[in-house]
Chain A
Amino acid sequence: MTSGRRSLAISRALLWPALTVAILLTQIPLVATLYYSFQEWNLLRPGQRGFVGFDNYAKVLSDGSFLASLGNTVVVTGSAVVGATLLGLLFAVLLDRKFVGQSVARTLMITPFLVMPAAAALIWKWSILDYTYGMANWALSLVGIPPVAWNTEVPALTVIMVLIWQYTPFAMLILLAGLQSQSREVLEAASVDGAGPFRTFVSMTLPHLRQYVEITVLLATILLLQVFDPVAIMTKGTGGSKTLSYLLYERAFIGLEVGEAAAYGVMTVIVTIIVATVALRTLFKVFSAEGLMNR
């Protein structure tokens, strides 16, 4: 008994250094951010720095840009995640079969995810969405649709398109792993029972993929919440494309308002925690209805 307790104490003691580092690394920035959020501090006005209580938070809440940008983040992230997951599912199903050049096709499909976000945004800006020389407008012209000034007319859609392009391979990879883990025997049994490919897909494969879809949605959401590059490079936060991370950047590096930017950051964390607990819980309840998560 005592020796058990002692070995437990030793185990805990051994854990402490790592835990301390983890706590320091994650919590110090948060505490510093909290501290700054109560300061009035414009980098270019060093003489006027001081404690202002909740003034910065009042500014965040009274100025419309926080809510607007929260809405933009939901729209941009949401559509990109849904789009990438659906397309990823489609490509995963197409790749989950034997054909000549399968591995080449798979590698090519993954490429967009390997491109640096900033480089991807530049490729889209210059070679795909350019009004005069872009491939998108060229393709539209083939079917007689007049050219579109993408970044000016539909900035939010532009960002969403780039994100879907980049994250479809990510979704595809996870879902493909899911498809390949599916037991062949079950599929054979289904076909012996007379189920067609469509029926097999809906009744057997989709339920099997449920947890893979969950993890795709969760990870993609986390990655896409931080989206910054396409906004900064292509649309500059205009017309519904100003996501929370871009707003934070603007407050800190264009406004140079350290205090206000910190308050925006803290509010972002709070809102995200609320969203994460409420929305993701609901979402997962829906997914676990069939009992996959009741382990």
Chain B
Amino acid sequence: MTLTTKMRRATVPAVLATGALVLAGCSGAGGGGGTGDGGDGHVELTLATVNNPQMKDMEELKGNFEESHPDITVNFVQMEENDLRDAVTKDIATGGGQYDIVTIGSYEVPIWAENQWLTDLTEPLSSDAEYDVDDLFQPVKDVVSVDDKLYAVPFYGESSMLMYNKEILDAAGITLSDHPTWDEVADAARKVNSDDVTGICLRGKPGWGELFAPLTTVVQTFGGTWFDQDWNAHVNDPEFSDAVQFYVDLVNDAGPADPVSTGFTECLNTMTQGKAAMWVDATVAAGMLEDPEASEVAGKMGYAHAPVKETEESGWLWSWNLAIPETTQNKDAAIEFVKWATSKEYQQLVGEELGWTRVPPGARQSTYEIPEYVEAAKSFAPITHDIMLAVNPTKPGLWDQSWTGIQYVTIPEFQDLGNQVSQDLSDVFAGRSKLGPVLDRGQKLAQEAGDAQ
């Protein structure tokens, strides 16, 4: 009897604990806000968005839209990227219709469009001459289109480039061209690397959107790919393996000391403090490096196209986009708002109300013709413009692709695949594993993902 009581005493809390564990894994973020048409013609729109600074600016300025559209009110629901993905996916997949407008990344747009979750925006946008849909950067338009139909509108976009601290490189007598090769950059990094200065900051933090954003572009310029056109995996091909080996060696020789801790934010910190000589990362970082209030290296930076090996360009392509779920009851009002937020006038509005450096970059070519913006961002705006036009999301490397996208593969399985392989790679960074077996396992996982297509 005592035994069973004891057993029960021991078991019950344990079961409760695991129950909580399972629950914790299953609970998602609940969205708020109802959507309603009050019956008097007044429409309330609910917009679910990531909590990026540019989106917060949009919320700040929504009053201007509501003034010119008195019958529409827009409510913002801001979430972390992963919560947003989860909440919106659930809402749309179950036909909830809670959100009228969502911001989604370029990785999701084609997948969601295939599921017929998103409204086709081609006609409403192209029929409005004033909106000037052709002004949007073609590569960005490509990644949010399926079969030439536009399912989302880019709000801002980015590519990647090489950013370098001119003081450090000049002191070492190194000059870089606008189109450097990876070999030149690696040599320079090894040369300037010291106890005080990191030669080149590169991401090592596991995750498909962290490590594999830059690493996939390196793989592509080395002539490798995740998949060929027929979804055969090529993860343990020599090109893929050489590229990863090159990246790992470069990080170990002249990169961040603690690669698993190092992502975009960490590199930005090191760079703004003048503790790193070079950095290959998102073009939007330039705006932060040039901000004299937050950065010690403002005005000392040089910018170049992302380093290459076998290809002409090696920048990635990402955009945050506004899309309208098929489930919304207020399609017309939602289209009105999306057009307003991605219009040329909106960019003027941001510049005049909030400052020209806060204009959402990388979506419209005309952004780079606004004199105030060009003046405010003169050190990096021209090169960003060139890169945004030069990258090719339909064929970023040497392989033909049956998907559109550069640093990711546009299939639902990719975030899991990229995440697992990047975790295994951190063992390679730390010297716990050899690269060969890690990529063999990656090949197996990739082939499973490829077979599902």
Contact = CB atoms under 8 A, between A and B. Distances in A.
A152 B204 contact: yes
Instruction: Determine the main DSSP class of B at the interface with A.
Output: helix
B257 interface: yes
Interface in B184-230: 204-208
Given A43-B93, A245-B24, A272 B426 contact: no
Interface residues of A, number: 63
A30 interface: yes
Contact of A43 (B89, B257, B259, B429): B89
Contacts of B19: 26, 29-30, 269
B24 A153 contact: no
B17 A225 contact: yes
A43 B10 contact: no
Contact of B22 (A30, A42, A153, A277): A30
Contact of A222 (B14, B90, B257): B14
Contacts of B426: 152, 155, 236, 238-239
B282 to A, nearest CB: 20
A244 interface: yes
Contact of A225 (B18, B93, B419): B18
A235 B427 CA distance: 11
Interface in A12-65: 26, 29-30, 32-33, 42-47
Contacts of A45: 115, 412
A236 B22 contact: no
Contacts of A236: 205-207, 260, 423, 426
B257 to A, nearest CB: 4
Contacts of A228: 24
Given A44-B412, A47-B115, A149-B257, A245 B205 contact: no
B22 A152 contact: no
Chain B, interface size category, equals: 35 or more
A273 B17 CA distance: 10
Instruction: Determine the main DSSP class of A at the interface with B.
Output: helix
A199 interface: no
A184 B149 CA distance: 83
Most chain B CB within a 10 A radius of its CB, from A149, A226, A235, A294: A149
Nearest to A226: B21
A281 B430 CA distance: 39
A85 interface: no
Nearest to B441: A64
A281 B25 contact: no
Given A222-B13, A280-B14, A281-B10, A250 B419 contact: yes
B68 interface: no
A45 B259 CA distance: 34
Contacts of B90: 43
Contacts of A155: 260, 426
Interface stretch (A94-102, A175-183, A185-193, A253-261): A253-261
A115 B419 CA distance: 29
B15 interface: yes
Interface in B100-138: 111-112, 115
A276 interface: yes
A265 interface: yes
Interface string B1-34: 0100011001101111111111111100000000
A269 B14 CA distance: 9
A276 B11 contact: yes
A43 to B, nearest CB: 5
A271 to B, nearest CB: 9
Most chain B CB within a 10 A radius of its CB, from A130, A242, A275: A130
Nearest to A33: B22
A47 B416 CA distance: 19
B269 to A, nearest CB: 9
A234 B261 CA distance: 7
Interface string A246-268: 00111011111100011001101
Contact of B25 (A47, A249, A277): A249
Given A268-B22, A293-B6, 7 more contacts: A47-B115, A131-B258, A152-B429, A226-B17, A261-B25, A273-B15, A277-B11
10 contacts: A44-B112, A218-B10, A219-B13, A222-B13, A222-B14, A239-B260, A254-B415, A257-B416, A281-B10, A284-B10
Interface of A: 26, 29-30, 32-33, 42-47, 125, 129-132, 147, 149-153, 155, 218-219, 222, 225-226, 228, 234-239, 242, 244-245, 248-250, 252-257, 261-262, 265-266, 268-269, 272-273, 275-277, 280-281, 284, 293-294
Q: Sort A-B residue pairs by CB-CB distance and give the 4 closest, nearest first.
A: A276-B14, A44-B412, A149-B258, A280-B10
